[in-house]
A and B are shown apart, each in its own frame.
Chain A
């Protein structure tokens, strides 16, 4: 009986540890996504539309915000209809690898301060065996840029002067 209890405790511990690892992994990974401009935002922000592809339909809003911020940082976006085109905030193509540790930590949590999902804009469509989850996100790009400048990931206009 005692052995059985000990076994139970051990299994629960292993399960909890595995859950933590899986959750941490999910926090770090970016799901495949597309990003487009969705109009001119208020000063200091971008309004973007992000479409995440996933096998599950219940991808969280924060996951979509994460993809939007990743897109603003490393991909840039455009919209032919709205005649919008923005280059990525991080201009060096090597920066993502160069500051890998910083971005790993950034996308583990602090990214949440720089974006907000527009409520009611979530749309889910099923294409073959996958789901396309679309959402409009406001990215606070000025604050994001300032904070990246402060840690030296991107250079500012007055850097060096």
Chain B
């Protein structure tokens, strides 16, 4: 009887033990655009004749109040077993990487490290979940009132997944750092419970990603090409239907050279029990299209956990 019980226990827990752990999303706290603008921390860039405003994080991390708030949030999240990427350290690391890469040369030929334009674009502060923090200080006579906002955004689906904001009670004597610390301590639990709900949904319904398919110019591949009377768009659509959790996805754009899928729910683990992410998911489609009768070569240009991109036609 004991042996039977032991056997049943092993059988029951074997699949769980075999599964890998789901990939932990990276999270980083950054100042909100509104806070950067109000504190004169936006840089202007000329984007082909249009003026664009971009937050200057390099300058922002020198603001003591901001760093105090970010440090507090990072500390509280780490205490809960979810350490965050630090903005100031990430900015330093990017700069150091650029310097080291520029100085690295081959011993024999003196060649420098090859860098594509895309590599340069990827050299920026980024994370899978962005937590935006911002505040405003209002003065009412001798009293100070702090309005505080904290929101989490899924960087790949652009959805707001958690939020907690409000105005703290007025104070006569507290300094801004003290008011900020109070606000963070007060608002953090509500914020984290929303994040928890987001993670619960992720485990129940799969990870939500977006998928984009493009075509290399001049390769003869078109999404309207037919195979056994069926267009490539419909073939890919069918593949998505078969490989998404509960067939949940939405084809939002379909043209001759581009397909955009949104709200694509992918399983957390692949058939071998490995943690699944956007790259692994879209690699399965790449292999499927590479085989007969399609024989389409494609390039997986996915970066990050939640945004898959496949360019058809060549590597």
Contact = CB atoms under 8 A, between A and B. Distances in A.
A86 B80 CA distance: 17
A157 B195 contact: yes
Contacts of A155: 196, 199-200
B21 interface: yes
B22 A161 contact: yes
How many chain A residues sit at the interface, stated as a range, is: 10 to 19
Contact of A86 (B24, B82, B167, B190): B190
A9 interface: no
A158 B24 contact: yes
Contact of B193 (A82, A87, A160): A87
Contact of A83 (B22, B168, B196): B168
Interface string A45-62: 000000000000000000
Contacts of A125: none
Given A40-B182, A43-B185, A91-B196, A158 B82 contact: yes
Contacts of B186: 40, 84
Interface string B160-177: 000000111100000000
A86 B203 CA distance: 25
Nearest to B76: A43
Given A83-B167, A87-B193, A158 B80 contact: yes
A157 B192 contact: yes
A100 B51 CA distance: 61
Contacts of B22: 160-161
A82 B145 CA distance: 12
B230 interface: no
Interface string A67-85: 0000000000000011111
How many chain B residues sit at the interface, stated as a range, is: 20 to 34
A47 B188 CA distance: 15
A43 B178 CA distance: 13
B77 interface: yes
B287 interface: no
Contact of B169 (A82, A85, A86, A159): A82
Given A40-B185, A160-B199, A83 B166 contact: yes
B189 interface: yes
B168 A158 contact: no
Nearest to B82: A157
A40 B167 CA distance: 14
A147 interface: no
Interface in B16-64: 21-24
Contacts of A40: 182, 185-186
Contacts of A109: none
B79 interface: yes
Contacts of A152: none
A87 B190 contact: yes
B81 interface: yes
Contacts of B166: 83, 85
Contacts of B185: 40, 43
A161 B21 contact: yes
Nearest to B202: A160
Nearest to A155: B196
Interface of B: 21-24, 77, 79-82, 166-169, 182, 185-186, 189-190, 192-193, 195-197, 199-200, 203
30 contacts: A40-B182, A40-B186, A43-B185, A81-B169, A83-B166, A83-B167, A83-B169, A85-B166, A86-B189, A86-B190, A87-B190, A87-B193, A91-B197, A141-B189, A155-B196, A155-B199, A155-B200, A156-B80, A156-B81, A157-B77, A157-B80, A157-B192, A157-B196, A157-B199, A158-B81, A160-B22, A160-B199, A161-B22, A161-B23, A161-B24
Interface of A: 40, 43, 81-87, 91, 141-142, 155-161
Given A85-B190, A160-B21, 20 more contacts: A81-B169, A83-B168, A84-B186, A85-B166, A86-B189, A86-B190, A87-B189, A91-B196, A91-B197, A141-B189, A142-B79, A156-B80, A156-B81, A157-B80, A157-B192, A157-B199, A158-B24, A158-B82, A160-B22, A160-B203
